[in-house]
Amino acid sequence: MPHSASSLPKLPKSHRATGRVTLSDVARAAGVSPSTVSRALRGERAVDPALIERVQAVSAKLGYVPDPAARALASQRSNHVAILIPLLSNALFVDLLDAAQKTLRAAGYQTLMGVTHYDASEEEQLLREQLLHRPAGLLVTGLDHNPATRQLMHSSQVPCVHLMDLPVGGISDAPYCVGFHQTEAGAAMTRHLLAQGRQRIAFAAAQLDPRVMQRLYGWRSAVQAAGVYAPTLEFLNPAPSSLALGALMFEQIMQQRPAVDAIFFCNDDLAQGALMAALRLGIQVPAQVAIAGFNDLTGSDQMLPPLTTVRTPRAHIGEAAAQMLLTLMRGDTPAAPQLDLGFDILQRQST
Amino acid sequence: MPHSASSLPKLPKSHRATGRVTLSDVARAAGVSPSTVSRALRGERAVDPALIERVQAVSAKLGYVPDPAARALASQRSNHVAILIPLLSNALFVDLLDAAQKTLRAAGYQTLMGVTHYDASEEEQLLREQLLHRPAGLLVTGLDHNPATRQLMHSSQVPCVHLMDLPVGGISDAPYCVGFHQTEAGAAMTRHLLAQGRQRIAFAAAQLDPRVMQRLYGWRSAVQAAGVYAPTLEFLNPAPSSLALGALMFEQIMQQRPAVDAIFFCNDDLAQGALMAALRLGIQVPAQVAIAGFNDLTGSDQMLPPLTTVRTPRAHIGEAAAQMLLTLMRGDTPAAPQLDLGFDILQRQST
DNA sequence: CTGAAAGCGCTTACAG
DNA sequence: CTGAAAGCGCTTACAG
């Protein structure tokens, strides 16, 4: 039979057809019902292996891709994973985001990013908005949230993994989280300085978020244990962390009498600024004063002298947290609810 | 009548009820049809102002929030805006993302971030995935994309604004974009160095993405115009940009004979690394060699000496591009398809 | 200006 | 193991 008008593809019968290849198209072409296609494609058990193969082949041939909106509406679960981080201006959180996002995308999830600016009510509002998208999972920075936020996380039933922090006390009712012990890290670096013979070790911090405060507690416990604690050794500034602020704090601290012989900065950007200020002022590091940082950020190894710091496994945290979330979203139980990824003291030349 | 069983709230009649407050709930409570509620809430014209008010009041009282998935499915448009950036490890793009995301969120849009790693086919794949979510708009870095990507952007009909770059030639068939002229910026800094009496100005670059290459062309045209061009003054390294690489390149360049008297780095991180290397090597900057950077990244003002660089309006670009996209998504036409946000030469002490 | 009806493209009890 | 049917919660021609 020659080509005739009636053999041309029919116009879409619906007045709202979108041109998309749908589940029904696949079903028709494979000679099965839409339900079966749906099950086969999602790898649901209880479907004939032979059918699975046929459906997959037809689906590939037609170039079928499931519609996320339809899927979300029908199943009440999207392929979004919401992630809440405090700031994009801190490389730490960007590394976390980058790693998590990479892992999640490889598993077919879209990352929905929310920036809280360390503001509990902004965090709450952000979470509310993200929950509207029925995320399949939640990644949130830290363990400190206001009651409404905690309530939202809980009542939404969405699997959730916390980043960076680990609960201090017992494991009772503990949430899923991957990170390291901030307090221990703070104490470890302080002990390292003590072991190097430093006696008047200042702790200098900005931003003062919960993790910074934990490092402070770690420092306190270590200097107290060594009997060299003094309240005047604490320099706490709530302003955002930056090289410029580090330089400023360094100058102030160096005017302190009796003089300090070491400064432990809560973040590398502050320490880098201090190192630059020392160069400008002609203050010898570490001869006159030792300087230590935290996080091993970009550039710390290039300082003069290179910065002694705490290497934190942030990329690893982002990836492992995403993996744990993937496990939870699959309905499985992670090996352990808490994952401690530890930290390293990176001895370079500034101490 | 006393409380009786029959006055208790009825169980949901559907076997799949979600407990969510829906459009129909609002319609019922307001005594109008769902269609009217839908129109009233979206501010569609052609609905009685009195009704709008009533519907809004009822909606607020019931705490109704539209379901994004249902809305996306029915309207074929989500409230997502997809953004494509090359890297998260370059502060430049993070600033772009931060600004755009902030502006978009304030207008009710969710940002879907995609990281291309400067890989054209990864970009294409990412765009494909994002398009599945039927984004309301698209923000993409640069103007260089492979044919398939361009085709996708075009055939999807999704409003799109390009970031950072501006088309070089005429305005013919030009896409929407906000940025500045990279080539001009490269030339301007070079002329600045020439005006300071420098004669052998090297251009040192890493990553070699299209924008870096444009700066190179700007440098070339300026040194050629001054009659001081030499191919041996070009130091191009495709590796990712970093302080460490900058230090390395600096050492190599300083071994060059005849000696250079200035180095223009295509990005501040390279220049910062060079400055640190100069300190280590005891090379006087700018006495022996001038060093200039690009972008005015964090820390450049804290270097020793502070780094002369080109200040680029990246946060402004992110915000303005988002605004332009908002205009397009509204169905309006931006004042001009291209927005040139310019740049500044920031003379500090390294030149 | 308003409403009834159909439809967006899936998933999921339910029945077999 | 498979299918018919209902439903997820909206929007949008169409008719009035």
CA of B183 to C1' of D11 (A): 47
List CB-based contacts (under 7 A) with strand D: A 15-16, 32-36, 39, 45-48, 51, 70, 73-74; B 14-18, 20-24, 34-35, 38-39, 41-42, 64-67, 70-71, 73-77
Query: B271 with B307: CB under 8 angstroms?
Result: yes
The number of residues in chain B equals 351
What integer pLDDT is reported at residue B12 of this predicted model?
A: 41
Per-position pLDDT tens, chain A of length 351 = 333 333 333 344 455 667 788 998 999 899 898 889 999 888 887 788 888 888 888 888 888 888 889 999 999 889 999 999 999 999 999 999 999 999 999 998 999 999 999 999 999 999 999 998 889 999 999 999 999 999 999 888 899 999 999 987 655 567 899 999 999 999 999 999 999 999 999 999 999 999 999 999 999 999 999 999 999 999 999 999 999 999 999 999 999 999 999 999 999 999 999 999 999 999 999 999 999 999 999 999 999 999 999 999 999 999 999 999 999 998 889 999 999 999 999 999 999
Give which of A99, A128, A95, A134 is closest to A114, Cα–Cα: A128
8 Å CB contact of A133 and B68: yes
Nearest to A73 among B69, B244, B301 (CB): B69
Secondary structure (H, E, C), B306-342: CCEEEECCHHHHHHHHHHHHHHHHCCCCCCCCEEECC
Using a CB–CB cutoff of 8 Å, tell me whether B5 touches chain A.
no
For residue B50, give Cα distances in angstroms to B28, B45, B54, B57: 17, 13, 6, 11
Nucleotide nearest to A68 (CA to C1'): C10
Give every CB contact of residue B128 below 8 A, 6+ residues apart in sequence: B152
Instruction: Name the burial class of residue B34, with classes exposed (0-12), middle (13-18) and buried (19+) by CB atoms within 10 angstroms of its CB.
Output: middle
What integer pLDDT is reported at residue B51 of this predicted model?
A: 82
Residue B47 contacts strand C, CB under 7 A: yes
The number of residues in chain A equals 351
What integer pLDDT is reported at residue B86 of this predicted model?
A: 96
Nearest to A73 among B70, B98, B134 (CB): B70
Query: B235 with B203: CB under 8 angstroms?
Result: yes
Query: B263 with B285: CB under 8 angstroms?
Result: no
What integer pLDDT is reported at residue A1 of this predicted model?
A: 35
Using a CB–CB cutoff of 8 Å, tell me whether A283 touches chain B.
no
8 Å CB contact of A276 and B98: no
Using a CB–CB cutoff of 8 Å, tell me whether B68 touches chain A.
yes
Strands A309-311 and A344-346: antiparallel
What integer pLDDT is reported at residue B10 of this predicted model?
A: 39
Closest chain A residue to B247 measured between Cα atoms? A302
8 Å CB contact of A133 and B110: yes
- Examine domains A5-66 and A76-180+315-343 and report if their fold is the same: no
For helices B147-155 and B120-132, angle between their N-to-C axes, nearest 10 degrees = 20
8 Å CB contact of B304 and A276: yes
Q: Which is it for the CA torsion A168, A170, A174, A176, positive or negative?
A: positive
**Calpha distance B211→A49 (Å, rounded):** 51
Nucleotide nearest to B73 (CA to C1'): C8
Looking at CATH, the fold of the domain delimited by A76-180+315-343 is given as Rossmann fold (3.40.50)
Let me know the angle formed at the C-alpha of A254 by A306 and A247, rounded to the nearest 5 degrees.
Answer: 55
Q: Which residues of chain B have pLDDT under 50?
A: 1-13
Contacts of B78 in chain A (CB under 8 A): 69
Give every CB contact of residue A229 below 8 A, 6+ residues apart in sequence: A220, A223
Which residues of A spanning 55-114 put their CB closer than 7 angstroms to strand C? 64-67, 70-71, 73-77
Q: Tokens 């069983």 — which residue?
A: B5
CA of A52 to C1' of D11 (A): 35
For helices B49-62 and B23-30, angle between their N-to-C axes, nearest 10 degrees = 120
Instruction: Name the burial class of residue A209, with classes exposed (0-12), middle (13-18) and buried (19+) by CB atoms within 10 angstroms of its CB.
Output: buried
Which nucleotides of strand C are protein-proximal, with an atom < 7 A from a CB?
Answer: 1-14
Using a CB–CB cutoff of 8 Å, tell me whether A97 touches chain B.
yes
Using a CB–CB cutoff of 8 Å, tell me whether A134 touches chain B.
yes
Using a CB–CB cutoff of 8 Å, tell me whether B14 touches chain A.
no
3.10.20.740, 1.10.260.40, 1.10.10.410, 3.40.50.1370: CATH of B5-66: 1.10.260.40
**Calpha distance A217→A222 (Å, rounded):** 9
Closest chain A residue to B135 measured between Cα atoms? A69
Nearest to B72 among A69, A110, A298 (CB): A69
CA of B135 to C1' of D12 (A): 19
Domain spans of chain A?
5-66, 76-180+315-343, 182-311
Domain B182-311: CATH superfamily is Response regulator (3.40.50.2300)
Query: How close B113 comes to chain A (CA, Å)?
Result: 7
- What six digits make up the tokens of A221? 């416990």
Distance of alpha carbon A341 from the chain centroid: 13
CA of B56 to C1' of C10 (A): 31
**Calpha distance A223→A209 (Å, rounded):** 21
pTM for this entry: 0.90
Residue B46 contacts strand C, CB under 7 A: yes
Contacts of B276 in chain A (CB under 8 A): 302-304
Question: Which one of A130, A276, A283, A350 makes the best mutation probe of the B interface by having the most chain B beta carbons within 10 Å?
Answer: A276
For residue B339, give Cα distances in angstroms to A200, B95, B177: 55, 18, 6
**Calpha distance A201→A224 (Å, rounded):** 11
